[in-house]
Structures are given as C-alpha cells and as structure tokens.
Structure 1
Amino acid sequence: MVSRFKTVFMIQANGTFGSSFSSKVIWECIRVLSPVESWHKAIWFKEYIPRNSFISWLALSRRLPTRDRLRSWGLKVPEQCVLYSAAVETYHHLFFECQFSASIWTFFAETVWPNPPQDIHSAAAWICMARNSSSPQARCIIKLMFQSAVYLIWKERNKRIFTSVSSSANSIRCAVDRQIRDRLLSIPASPRIQLSMLQFFFACTRPP
C-alpha cells in the first residue's frame, strides 16, 4: 500500500514558498513595521518584570487612561490628580512631576545615578543614555526601579479612584523595594561579576 502525502508550502523570509514553517517569518510578513522608540531599552530587557514592563510601555506610549486623556474623549471626570490634588492629572504630572510619585522614583533612582529627571520620557532617555562607566548591575537595577515605580504608582492611582483606599508614599516605596528584591533573588550570580545583582542593590540603596 502506497501512502500519499500532501506537501504544504509555507511562505519564507524572502517572499517565496518552502516546506518549512516559521511563526517568526509569518509574523514579520503580516505585521506593520513602526519606527523603534528611543526608549525601548528601558522597557524590554532580559530581567524585566512582565506586568511592570507592559504598564511602563503603555505609559511611555501615552496609552494609559489618565484623567486628561479621558476628558479629551468627552468624558466628564474630575481633572485633579488623586495623588496630589493641587494639580491636573496628566502623563507628565503623574510620572513623575507629582510630589507623591516623585518621592517614590527619586528615592530609589538617586541612589544609583545622580540627578534623576522627574518626567517619564526624560527619565527613560536618561536610563538609555550610554554610560560606559556604569556597571551591568546598575543598568539593570535602574530599569527595574523605573518600571516598578511606574507600575505601583499607576496601581495606587487606580486603587484610590475605584476603592477609595489610599497608601502612603512610604508603603509604595516598600512595595517597590519588595518587587525588586524578589526579582533579583531569581537572577543567578555570574562568576564573571564580583557582586551579584542583589548584593549591588543592597550596597547602593537604603531601606524605605
């Protein structure tokens, strides 16, 4: 008995067809290419925390439903920031011009590099700057600090709006500290680097 096989040809990277399948090739053929954002290295890196990276990406892309954005859609919502009611809630106010959020971001960032910007896009550009004198540990940890601060500030903002429950800035700083420690504990030490990520974090930071 002779078996009959049906050959299926799949699209290849050069636009022709072949017998092998690659989801990467298919994705590259169907997706619409956009310019690479200058801040992408502050978002996507080996040690990132997925939920933090996603929220940070939305924030840098101006896709989070902040109150100024909701009002631009015609929704009748208060304009005041729930973290610092003396100002209007915008992207740049919430991350990190607001006194509340600035006290979280700068508390951690200034222990690694001096003079951290108090604006989300300036902070991302500051992180992505070429720093030849900086260690791999510093570059990783400053990114984790940035993303954890953005994520937990956004979480606190939503909690205040939807549950009317608020936490102090020190409580948020403790949560940032806990997130970073948990992530660094999962990173094995490299024999080529004298200090592990966690040891470097303990060496350059102070408890909230």
Structure 2
Amino acid sequence: MPKQASWMLRKILATQPTWNELQQPLKAGKSIVRQIYLQLLEYNVRVPWKCMMFRNAARPKAIFTLWLHIQDRLLTKERLVAWDMDIEPKCIFCDALLETRDHLFVLKDHPGPVNWNTHLQWLIKSSKGNSQAAQVVKMVYTEGVHAIWIERNQRQFEQMSRSVEVVAKEVAVTCNIRALPGIQQLLRQYIF
C-alpha cells in the first residue's frame, strides 16, 4: 500500500480481502447486500455497554452525553490539561482533586474501592433485559450523568450553581415525564 495514499484510499484498499471473498457464489437465500453487511460487521467490535444505548427512554441529548461519558470523551479538566490548556485542573464541585471522569461520576464520596471497570460492570448487569427495573436504571443513570455534566458546565462557565436536591428533583421529573406508564408508577414509589 503506498505511503502517500490518503486515509480514505487506504481504507478502501484494506477492504480488498472482503471483496475477494464476496466474489464467490451467493449462499442460498442470502442477498449480496446481506453478505456484505455481515462480512463488514465482523470487523466491528461489539461493545458490552450497548444495552445502555438501546431502548433507553432518556432524552437523546442525555443519551449522547452518556455515550461520551462511557467512552471517556467528555472534556474534563484532566483531558484539557493533557492538551496543554492553561486551566485550573481542580474539580469544580470539591475544589480539591483533579477533575476526571472517575472523580465526577464514580468515586465522588464513595466508600470502598470502586473503579470505572467495576462501576461499568455493575451498570451493564443492572440495565440488561427488558424488566422495568432495568429500564429505570438506564433512564435514571443517563439523565443523572447528563444533569451532573450540565451542572458542572454551569458552575464552570456561567458561575451558577444549584443544590443537589434541585438537580435530583430535575432528574426525577424528567424521568417521570419520559417514562412509559408502567415505569412511571415504579418511579413514583421513590420520594423526592
């Protein structure tokens, strides 16, 4: 493969083995589009947290924030400092530790040894399936992550802050509005 080739040309040339395999006769009852799709699908790794994305009743912007959060792509101060930005790396909430994803969403005031992987494994386990409890976990966690991130940004950029109770009530109201009727009854059991 030529080194001066563009990234797009390199990607196209890299699929050549796939195309060679597809030149073989069609399997009985399978279309060429299906064969191409299934062949290309093999190269994509399935993420274990996909259960958090699908059938989640949270708002689309909250689901997008969760997607960034799970992949550690939120622009925390740790990441901004790594890009040589001249900012104060301390957490806006506690003003003591470096602001990281783990500090903002996992380790904050949590007793015992918890890291991101154990937190994510618990989250995946709790949100798998179609049960009402799994639906509640997905939606409340997603809206909670979004609310924490919005509160962080408001404190950082607009010098506005709200109490924990106000943020929790906002998450509860949003989840109650977005939930299906059966899940709404389950959510109303919790007092905010």
So what's the TM-score if we normalise by structure 2?
Answer: 0.71
Q: Does 1:86 align with 2:96?
A: yes
Q: Distance in 2 between matches of 1:129 and 1:48?
A: 19
| 1:148 alignment counterpart | 143
Q: Distance in 2 between matches of 1:53 and 1:34?
A: 21
Residue 98 (structure 1) shift: 2.1
Selected match of 1:69 from 61, 79, 84: 79
CA RMSD of the aligned region, Å?
3.5
Could you tell me the percent identity over the aligned residues? 23
Q: Distance in 1 between matches of 2:38 and 2:58?
A: 24
| Distance verdict in 2 for CA 1:15–1:47, change over 3 Å | farther
Residue 142 (structure 1) shift: 0.8
**1:123-143 Cα distance to aligned partner (Å, 9 max, x none):** 3321322799x9811010011
Q: Distance in 1 between matches of 2:149 and 2:37?
A: 32
| 1:129 alignment counterpart | 125
- Determine if contact 1:95/1:118 at 8 Å carries over to the other structure: no
Q: Distance in 2 between matches of 1:68 and 1:168?
A: 24
Residue 53 (structure 1) shift: 1.0
**1:46-74 Cα distance to aligned partner (Å, 9 max, x none):** 53421111101101101111000011111
**Residues matched between the structures, number:** 167
Unaligned ranges ≥5, structure 1: 1-13, 17-21, 103-114, 190-195
Unaligned ranges ≥5, structure 2: 1-20, 24-32
* Letter matched to residue 79 of structure 1: P
Q: Does 1:98 align with 2:76?
A: no
| 2:48 alignment counterpart | 38
- Determine if contact 2:69/2:101 at 8 Å carries over to the other structure: yes
| 1:168 alignment counterpart | 163
Structure 1's consecutive aligned runs of 4 or more residues displaced over 4 angstroms after TM superposition are 24-33, 117-121
- Determine if contact 1:81/1:87 at 8 Å carries over to the other structure: yes
**1:93-135 Cα distance to aligned partner (Å, 9 max, x none):** 0113224xx7xxxxxxxxxxxx9x9655533321322799x98
So what's the TM-score if we normalise by structure 1?
Answer: 0.66
**1:174-203 Cα distance to aligned partner (Å, 9 max, x none):** 11101101101xx2x5xxxxxx11111122
Tell me which moved more, 134-143 or 65-74: 134-143
| 1:47 alignment counterpart | 57
* Letter matched to residue 178 of structure 1: V
Bigger helix fraction? 2
Tell me which moved more, 41-50 or 51-60: 41-50
